[in-house]
Amino acid sequence: EPEVTQTPSHQVTQMGQEVILRCVPISNHLYFYWYRQILGQKVEFLVSFYNNEISEKSEIFDDQFSVERPDGSNFTLKIRSTKLEDSAMYFCASSRGVNNEQFFGPGTRLTVL
Amino acid sequence: GENVEQHPSTLSVQEGDSAVIKCTYSDSASNYFPWYKQELGKRPQLIIDIRSNVGEKKDQRIAVTLNKTAKHFSLHITETQPEDSAVYFCAAVSSGGYNKLIFGAGTRLAVHP
């Protein structure tokens, strides 16, 4: 069964550094998402992406964040200048269409020191 | 803004008992309601979902009910087993949005043998 994959599984960085989190969505899916989950809290929506552009973003997704689909398979989340409060688990997800199941990747645990 | 309230935050049952988790959503345009199960350190996985044109859906020991008028939806697990122990998240998707999931705060279910 196809799965969403993410790399790395754990990323440790210094405050102010840039990080890029990578995802490979399921191949025939058209909608892509990033969510984050601070330890012990709920999953929060960051951004959705369709047809090579951002379709919706949350208040969390400020100018420090960007997403890109650099080729036909990868979907990346970049945080330009990390802050301590960016420490969280970041999940990528994808779906075939609207109101279809969103399949989540295994997550990248980001630790900002 | 869009919000999903979830109760209880923790639920402890004996094996074989039933468990009920309740959610309330604020956006009347919401039309898709998935439930995710998240085991410790793992990705959220869909266990059941319901669309707004349906009042109830069942899949073996799991059922979901939806009351659109009251903006409530509930997850029912019967004959609970220790492997049902996990955190359960309800979510809602608005018809006016681009498929973003608004999650509840989660319910930690513990099933004791």
Measured in angstroms, the CA of B54 and the nearest CA of chain A are apart by: 14
Check A42 against B106: CB less than 8 A apart.
yes
Residue A4: the pLDDT is 96
pLDDT for residue B17 is more than 90: yes
Q: Are B88 and B106 in contact (CB under 8 A)?
A: yes
Burial class (CB within 10 angstroms; exposed 0-12, middle 13-18, buried 19+) of A28? exposed
pLDDT for residue B98 is more than 80: no
Q: If you ran DSSP here, which 8-state letter would residue A9 be given?
A: S
- Average the pLDDT over each of A3-7, A51-55, B82-86, B96-100 and give the range with the smallest value: B96-100
pLDDT for residue A8 is more than 80: yes
pLDDT for residue A36 is more than 90: yes
* CB-nearest partner of B44 from A45, A48, A104: A104
Residue B52: the pLDDT is 86
Check B100 against A48: CB less than 8 A apart.
yes
Q: How far apart are CA A40 and CA A25, in angstroms?
A: 25
Helix/strand/coil (H/E/C) assignment for every residue in B32-63: EEEEEEECCCCCCEEEEEEECCCCEEEECCEE
Q: Does A31 touch chain B (CB under 8 A)?
A: yes
pLDDT for residue A100 is more than 90: no
Instruction: Collect all residues of chain B within an 8 Å Cβ-Cβ radius of residue A46.
Output: none
Distance from chain centroid for Cα B108 = 12
Residue with tokens 């969403």: A4
B94 has which bridge partners?
B30
Q: Are B86 and B77 in contact (CB under 8 A)?
A: no
CA diameter of chain A: 39
* CB-nearest partner of B104 from A42, A50, A106: A42
pLDDT band at A98 (very low <50, low <70, confident <90, very high): confident
Residue B1: the pLDDT is 65
Q: How far apart are CA B87 and CA B35, in angstroms?
A: 11
Tokens of B54: 């349906």
- Percent of chain B exceeding pLDDT 70 equals 98
pLDDT for residue B96 is more than 80: no
pLDDT band at A71 (very low <50, low <70, confident <90, very high): confident
Q: How far apart are CA A33 and CA A93, in angstroms?
A: 5
How many beta carbons lie within 10 A of that of residue B82, not counting itself? Answer: 10
- Average the pLDDT over each of A104-113, B50-59, B73-82 and give the range with the smallest value: B50-59
Q: Stretch A84-91: mean pLDDT, rounded? A: 97
Residue B2: the pLDDT is 81
Nearest-5° Cα angle at B94, B89 to B96? 160
Number of H helices, E strands in chain A: 0, 11
pLDDT band at A99 (very low <50, low <70, confident <90, very high): confident
